Amino acid sequence: MRSALQALLIGLFLLGLVAGCAHPLVGPASAEVAQSNLARDMNPNVPAQDLRELVQGNSAFAFDLYQALRGQESGNFFYSPFSISIALAMTWAGARGKTEQEMADVLHFTLPQERLHPAFNALDLELARRGQSKKGQGLRLHLANAIWGQRGYRFLPQFLDTLARNYGAGLRLLDFKGDPERARKVINDWVSERTDGRIQDLIPKGVIDFLTRLVLANAIYFKAAWAEPFDKNLTSDGQFYLLDGSQVIVPMMQQTTELGYMKGEGFQVVELPYEGGEVSMVIFLPDMGRFKEFERSLSAKQVEEILGKLEYPEVTLKMPRFRVESAFKLAQTLAAMGMPSAFQPGEADFSGMDGTRTLYISAVLHKAFVSVDEAGTEAAAATAVVVKKTALPSMRVEVTVNRPFIFLIRDRLTGAILFVGRVVNPGS
């Protein structure tokens, strides 16, 4: 009888473990990694039109964001709109109501939830194939998504399913409440590892605290050789004209080859393919004194029209080596672009994450790096969306002990009352 009872108890224990693996954060969890029991869909059935619509929307957001950033940045800057879009798409999976609509408008998410996330999955998987052909062995393009949640916090199974199936993002458990600094280091280390060390300290100190409940992140790393590398022997110092008309001397690379080219009204465009021909760099070069005019007009529609007019003559190209590193805190920028409710405690609606309206986005952080030389290009970027729980309003209570009172002294661990007293006249 005892052995049978023991076997039954062991069986129930194991069954509990198996059941808990599916959605361990529906209740208290102690595992370090938890995720939906759904595997990533490696062959999503997505209509070509949905994929085109997603790409068009992402491009529109890319240049909307450019227009917002150019008013804030006076010097060089560099960012990955794809990384930002995909991190916010994972967040959008839990948005509802006004917050969901505002985010969709700003991010140009024109597809409904049930079609947008599979489209992102299809696009992400397609991009992951770049560099796999024999012609493109000099190209590396790596993308990764991850989410970290507060250990023991209750997230909705449907939310975890969406992220697991479409983004390959299992929920990793951290103790934001008990050790926010360690949690920050874990996330930053993940980002660094997946960007070949190019993106360090994405999340600065103080951003994660005891109210953090969720961090969603995307990392992208790109390294590629030019289809036609520049000859280092032809690189020589040359003049580069600044916006104020002054000049600096910089190393100018040079090559002559067939390239995509177009001359428009007040600008030139040249396209440089990377090895394999699957990916390219496109350079927009406004005429002298017309940079700000061209920059103001830049849009996804304009870029699409320009790229459709490229021809392929022999081009003698001179361009500088360059390196740019940028870091952005995008919360205020995105709010100003039209999605303020996502960042406002009490107004944000991310009930699709946990079934409540207590969560809001406290930060959207982005870092990016690019280096261009004679051999090719190396670029990396990462985005983190930090979701916090709304702090309860502080309560202030005044108590003035100015009349008779009773008191006791007790042991808090056992509840044993050790002393009881009464004071009716503290002066007697």
139-150/417-423 β-pairing = unpaired
Continuous H helices in 93-112? 97-107
Give 21-225+323-389's CATH code, choosing from 3.20.20.70, 3.30.497.10, 3.40.605.10, 3.30.70.141: 3.30.497.10
Tell me what pLDDT residue 404 has. Answer: 78
pLDDT value, residue 26:
36
pLDDT tens for each residue of the chain, 428 residues long:
334 434 433 333 333 332 333 344 333 333 366 667 789 999 999 999 999 999 999 999 999 999 999 989 888 998 999 999 999 999 999 999 999 999 999 999 999 999 999 999 999 999 998 877 656 568 899 999 999 999 999 999 999 999 999 999 989 999 999 999 999 999 999 999 999 999 999 999 999 999 999 999 999 999 999 999 999 999 999 999 998 889 999 999 999 999 999 899 998 888 988 999 889 989 999 998 999 998 999 999 999 999 999 999 999 999 999 899 999 999 999 999 999 999 999 999 999 999 999 999 999 999 999 898 999 999 999 999 999 999 766 556 777 777 776 667 766 666 776 777 777 787 75
Q: Could you tell me the residue ranges of all domains in the chain?
A: 21-225+323-389, 232-322
Which of 82, 124, 93 is closest to 383 using CA atoms?
82
C-beta atoms surrounding 254 within 10 Å: 16
* CATH class in words for 232-322: mainly beta
Instruction: State the helix-helix crossing angle for 81-92 and 113-128, rounded to 10 degrees.
Output: 140
Report helix, strand or coil for 16.
helix
Same fold flag, 21-225+323-389 and 232-322: no
Closest by CA to 214, choosing from 166, 158, 152, is 152
